[in-house]
Structure formats: structure tokens, C-alpha cells
Amino acid sequence: MRNVLVTGAAGGLGKAIVKKFIEEGDFVYVTDLKLEDAETVAQKYAGKAEALALNVADSDSVHQVIEYVIEKGPLHVLINNAGLQHRDKIEDFPEEKWDLLQDVMLKGPFLMTKYAFPHMKEAGIGRIINISSVHGETATPEKAAYVAAKHGVIGLTKVTALEGAAHNITANAVLPGPVKTPLLIKQLKDLEEQQGLSEKQALAKIVYPRQAMERFIDESEVADGVYFLASNSASAITGETLSISGGI
């Protein structure tokens, strides 16, 4: 049984990742900014999961959580999944939203890795999986902060892979396509309200024009890819990106 920590674990993708690792026999720290939501998730898996409050953008919070987890045993798998979206044209993009998105989705994985790395190195084992996005390699208008952070996290992953290699630590990035979680549902709703687009039109505008499969990705399809990268089957894979996007 491995110890796994998932950030943003109360969200759509986070919940599916938690479920997959627990089904495969691991113990999962279900961490999220929203403790109550994390507790709701963890309660489903008595004895196999523990909910913890964690703000990935706050170094004190990150340090405390990592030390708490390490006190109980080695941390084998770290999944940096917390995220959020904000859409605006660059000239209208609020600076505080830019900062927030970078803090959660770029500085967050950096802080988590910074505090987990020494323990993983000491144990001589570790798997780090950063949830980037197809927006880590492509762009959509009005998502400057998101696209920049998701590109950045691929760079962070590559450096982590180089620094971890001698210590049997792998680091990889997963690039999901459109998954119908609250993060995407909000965007579809905003497009409907602001531009009068139906869900179908909004999908065609922000998703389908360049996706081969023309469908949403199921949360479980992303969780399976994350699990693969944390499994023994992926022991020689590091510094890579795995796109789970339906062909974007």
C-alpha cells in the first residue's frame, strides 16, 4: 500500500483520481482548499483516505501538510491537481486573477515538490504527476493566465524529472482535454450568459473545432492515465507529457 497525496482532491478530476488509487489498494490524502468537500470525499473510503485542508499557494500550509503526512509514513505519490480558470481578454484580465492562477497552478506544484522532494529523495522513491492541460501545449483566446501556467508546469515537470532521476523519482505531466467538471461547466455557462451561445455552440467554439473525437473526456479516463504514470509499468517514463484529450 502506497501513500498518495492528491491536491484539489474535492474537485471533479480529483475525486476520480482518489477513487482510482483507493480501488487499486493505496491510501490517499484527500487535500483541498475546501476542507468540508474533502471530508465528504474521504468519508466514502473509511480507513483508506484522510481529508486535509491545504492551500497549495501558501508555503506554510504546504509545509505543514507535507510534514504531517511524512510523520505518518513515506509519501510515495504526489499528484498536483488543484486548479481554477478565469477568462478575459488580456487587456481586461484582472492582475489579481493572473496572480491567483499562477499561484495555484504553477507556484502550487513548485511548493508541493519543494517540500516533498527532500523526503522522497531520502526514501529513494517517488512519483510526481502534475496535471497540466492540453492548454500546456496549445492556446485559446481569453485564457492567458491558464495557458501560461499550464505551459509553465510542463517546464517544472521536466526540471523535476532531471533532479529526481538519481533518486528513483519520476515526474510527468498529464494533459487532459475537456472533462465535464465544475471548472468546465462554469465556462460553458459563462459563454451561454455572455455570448448567448447554447452549450452545443459553446462546445463547438472552445472544444470541438480541434478535437478528433468530438466528445468530453470522462474523469475516469484521466484517472487511469495518472494511475499508469504512478505504476511500476511507468518506471522508465520521466519528464514526459501524456495527453488524454480525445485527439487534440
Ligand X SMILES: NC(=O)c1ccc[n+]([C@@H]2O[C@H](COP(=O)([O-])OP(=O)(O)OC[C@H]3O[C@@H](n4cnc5c(N)ncnc54)[C@H](O)[C@@H]3O)[C@@H](O)[C@H]2O)c1
Phi, psi of 206 (to 5 degrees): -105, -10
When the beta carbons of 14 and 126 are compared against ligand X, the nearer one is 14
Contact 50, 35 (CB under 8 A): no
246 binds ligand X (CB under 6 A): no
**Any bridge partners for residue 174, and if so which?**
131, 242
When the beta carbons of 34 and 167 are compared against ligand X, the nearer one is 34
* Beta carbon of residue 55, minimum distance to ligand X (angstroms, whole number): 5
Binding mask 79-98 for ligand X (x = CB under 6 A): --xxxx--------------
* Beta carbon of residue 248, minimum distance to ligand X (angstroms, whole number): 10
- Residue 31 burial class via C-beta count within 10 angstroms: exposed 0-12, middle 13-18, buried 19 and up: buried
DSSP 3-state of 20? helix
Q: Whole-angstrom Cα distance, residue 241 to residue 185?
A: 25
Q: Whole-angstrom Cα distance, residue 62 to residue 231?
A: 25
When the beta carbons of 97 and 121 are compared against ligand X, the nearer one is 97
Residue nearest to ligand X (CB): 11
Q: Whole-angstrom Cα distance, residue 244 to residue 137?
A: 13
Catalytic site residue from 29, 45, 68, 146? 146
When the beta carbons of 168 and 220 are compared against ligand X, the nearer one is 220
DSSP 123-141: HT-EEEEEE--GGGTS--T
Q: Whole-angstrom Cα distance, residue 219 to residue 189?
A: 20
131 binds ligand X (CB under 6 A): yes
Residue list 161-200, contact with ligand X (CB under 6 A): 176, 178-179, 181-184
Q: Whole-angstrom Cα distance, residue 231 to residue 227?
A: 6
29 among known catalytic residues: no
141 binds ligand X (CB under 6 A): no
* Beta carbon of residue 122, minimum distance to ligand X (angstroms, whole number): 25
Residue list 5-34, contact with ligand X (CB under 6 A): 7-8, 10-14, 32-34
When the beta carbons of 54 and 161 are compared against ligand X, the nearer one is 54
The residues annotated as belonging to the active site are 146
Binding residues for ligand X, rule: CB under 6 A, are: 7-8, 10-14, 32-34, 54-57, 81-84, 104-105, 131, 133, 176, 178-179, 181-184
